[in-house]
A = this chain, B = another copy of it.
Amino acid sequence: MSKSFHPPKRTLMGPGPSDVSPRVTAAMGAPTIGHLDPAFVGLMDDIKGLLQYAFRTKNKLTIPVSAPGSAGMESCFVNLLEPGDKAVVCQNGVFGGRMKENVERCGATAIMVQDDWGKPVDPNKVEEALKANPDAKLLAFVHAETSTGARSDAKALTALAHQYDALSLVDSVTGLGGIELDVDGWGIDAIYSGTQKCLSCPPGISPVSFGERAVDVIKNRKTKVQSWFLDMSLVMGYWDGTGGRTYHHTAPVNSMYGLHESLVMLAEEGLEKAWARHAYHHQALAAGIEAMGLRFVVDQEYRLPQLNSVTIPAGVEEAKVRAALLNDYNLEIGAGLGALAGKVWRIGLMGESSCKTNVLLCLGALDAVLTGMGAAINSGRAVAAANAVYKG
């Protein structure tokens, strides 16, 4: 007979999910109400407004898709692309590859712009691709590559897309709430994110936002969107406040409670302060990592403060290190993904996880475990280096 599950209490410093505030888990555990209850409809409106704040947009079609980030990605592609369309897709990590899959499954063609993993997307290559493909409907790229920790210049890339009359479609799953993002200021046409990164909410929901140009494209489609569940022309009828709500699917009510609370917390802190906090604790972590003698995969200029890809010392079995951190310290850090599997660790400082106690725990535990395994690191220096940053 199966028994009730009682999860261990972990500190989450992987690539997401990040630590979730007790305020958010408590909100998720509140009593369920109906998805058409007037009280829930009010909550939906509040969530839309809070997401507009977080994305810095006035886009009316700014909503949480009722499924994880992968579905948010898919909702952007399937609504904007039709069979025969062409899209320029930038790949500098795992998620550009997933974008390619999405484009092709829409019956469209993906023109790939490749950059090394750990590097940002190169605007020059993008411009060449856009110039060579004047019929490209959109430019898709990842703002914050979760698989490497590299930040690309979403503002410059969006401007290029517009210069060549293409829409910009942006993955900011790991960016939202952690680094500067200005959907309206930069003119981003479609963007998706996730809840389990810098919003510090459990995984399962994907905030998206579509600008006017993108909505026009959706409204003027020749073919139906291939996904009924993700068809924005239908989803809008449920999330749009005008003229009553039309039932489309049953929204994940309690997950929306959690998302709402996490967004309220973000608004309480203030968006710019949250960005600054992510930058600050990254500095301390970086000082410790470098004092240990480990290196970052991404150059400082392009490094995401919330996702730190760190090289593994020679001769160390990386999975054993992660297992020791998990078993002896209840600390989760991430493995490498795709081309970086087995080559790096990914240390997340996202949302609630971006705090002094986590930085010190991570450095102290990593130092102890690596030293215990006889790894070639500078033992005993990491925590002091981080504390020096905190002392100013």
Contact = CB atoms under 8 A, between A and B. Distances in A.
Contacts of A178: none
Contacts of A2: 46, 49-50, 260, 263-264, 267
B202 A253 contact: yes
**Oligomer: number of copies:** 2
Interface in A250-274: 250-255, 257-258, 260-261, 263-264, 267-268
A202 B32 contact: yes
A34 interface: yes
A39 B203 contact: no
A187 interface: no
Residue of A70, A226, A260 ringed by the most chain B CB atoms within 10 A: A70
A26 interface: yes
A228 B70 contact: yes
A4 interface: yes
A211 interface: no
Contact of A30 (B3, B25, B50): B25
A237 to B, nearest CB: 13
A34 B261 CA distance: 20
B23 A229 contact: no
Nearest to A257: B5
Contacts of A194: 250
B31 A10 contact: yes
Contacts of A20: 31-32
Contacts of A5: 27, 30, 43, 46, 257, 260-261
Nearest to A173: B250
Interface string A199-238: 0001111000000000000000000111111000000000
Interface stretch (A98-106, A157-165, A283-291): A98-106
A227 B74 contact: yes
A391 interface: no
A152 interface: no
Contacts of A50: 2
Give the most central of A6, A39, A250: most B CB within 10 Å. A250
Contacts of A203: 32, 35, 250-253
Contact of A28 (B3, B12, B28, B46): B28
Interface in A102-140: 102, 104-106
Contacts of A3: 264
A226 B204 CA distance: 21
24 contacts: A2-B49, A2-B260, A2-B264, A3-B264, A4-B23, A4-B264, A16-B250, A25-B31, A28-B28, A28-B254, A29-B29, A34-B332, A68-B249, A68-B251, A71-B229, A73-B228, A105-B225, A105-B227, A105-B228, A194-B250, A202-B254, A204-B251, A204-B255, A254-B255
Interface of A: 1-10, 12, 14, 16-17, 19-20, 23, 25-35, 37-40, 43, 46, 49-50, 66-71, 73-74, 98, 101-102, 104-106, 194, 196, 202-205, 224-229, 247-255, 257-258, 260-261, 263-264, 267-268, 326, 332, 337
Given A17-B33, A66-B68, A68-B229, 12 more contacts: A2-B267, A5-B27, A5-B261, A7-B33, A10-B33, A20-B31, A32-B203, A37-B332, A67-B68, A69-B250, A105-B226, A254-B258
A-B pairs, 5 with minimum CB distance: A29-B29, A204-B252, A67-B67, A70-B249, A202-B254
